[in-house]
Each structure stands twice: as structure tokens, then as C-alpha cells.
């Protein structure tokens, strides 16, 4: 139980385009989901907390207009990287909260060329 999926698992896009990443809780409802970013050989950095039906809460230094988060249902949150640039290339991981625990998705590798 408590499975979280992400789609796509990897994506390559051209600089200036937008990319949407989906995070789904498959067997539970998640009022709260989280988005993390991970650079090579580094830990996870929390980008934002997404609450169903309300605006996301962004961590300091994260551009909310660049990283658009939508949590329209209890099983789906999306992260859209707008006008992507090479420096946005990274590994993005989502998690969904169930009771006191966060369950992590498998991650999405974004490469911006």
C-alpha cells in the first residue's frame, strides 16, 4: 500500500519550453503533497508543499512563477516548470503524506537542452 507514481520518469526539453510533471497517490488520498529537487550527489531540497484545493506554499528562494504547482484532486499534484533553462535540469521527486509519513515517488529526471 501507499504507492506514489510520477510521470514521466524522464524528460528532455528545449530551453524556453514548459514541462509538466505529475505525481499521483495510487491507493490513498493525499491532502498534502510535497515537491523536492535533488542535484547530483546531494540531498533532497524541499521546493514546495502542495495542499489540495489551495495554493502551494513555496520554500524560500523557490520561484513560484517558474515552478507552478497544482493540487486539483486528492490523488494528483502537478509541477510545471515554465520557460525551462539548462539550470533547471535536475531530479524532481514528489511525496504524498499519509497519516504521519511521506511516501515518495520514483522521481523524474529533467534535462533541458
Residues of this chain that interact with other proteins (CB under 8 A) are 6, 32, 34, 41-44, 46, 49, 91, 93, 95, 97-102, 104-107, 109
Closest distance to other proteins from the beta carbon of 23 (Å): 11
- Taking the least distance from each CB to other proteins, the nearer of 87 and 101 is 101
Closest distance to other proteins from the beta carbon of 95 (Å): 8
Q: How far is CA 59 from CA 12, 19, 62, 63, in A?
A: 26, 20, 6, 9
Helix (H) or strand (E) holding 86, with range, is: none
Q: Per-residue DSSP letters for 44-109?
A: EEEEEEEETTS--EEPTT--TTTEEEEEEETTEEEEEE-S--GGG-EEEEEEEEETTEEEE---EE
- Taking the least distance from each CB to other proteins, the nearer of 82 and 91 is 91
Closest distance to other proteins from the beta carbon of 45 (Å): 9
- Taking the least distance from each CB to other proteins, the nearer of 65 and 89 is 89
Amino acid at each position: 500500500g501507499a504507492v506514489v507514481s510520477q510521470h514521466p520518469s524522464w524528460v528532455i526539453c528545449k530551453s524556453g519550453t514548459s514541462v509538466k510533471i505529475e505525481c499521483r497517490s495510487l491507493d490513498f488520498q493525499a491532502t498534502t503533497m510535497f515537491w523536492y529537487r535533488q542535484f547530483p550527489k546531494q540531498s533532497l531540497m524541499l521546493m514546495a508543499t502542495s495542499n489540495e484545493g489551495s495554493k502551494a506554499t513555496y520554500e524560500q528562494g523557490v520561484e513560484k512563477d517558474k515552478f507552478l504547482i497544482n493540487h486539483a484532486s486528492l490523488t494528483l499534484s502537478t509541477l510545471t516548470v515554465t520557460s525551462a533553462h539548462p539550470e533547471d535540469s535536475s531530479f524532481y521527486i514528489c511525496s504524498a503524506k499519509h497519516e504521519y509519513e511521506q511516501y515518495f515517488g520514483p522521481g523524474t529526471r529533467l534535462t533541458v537542452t
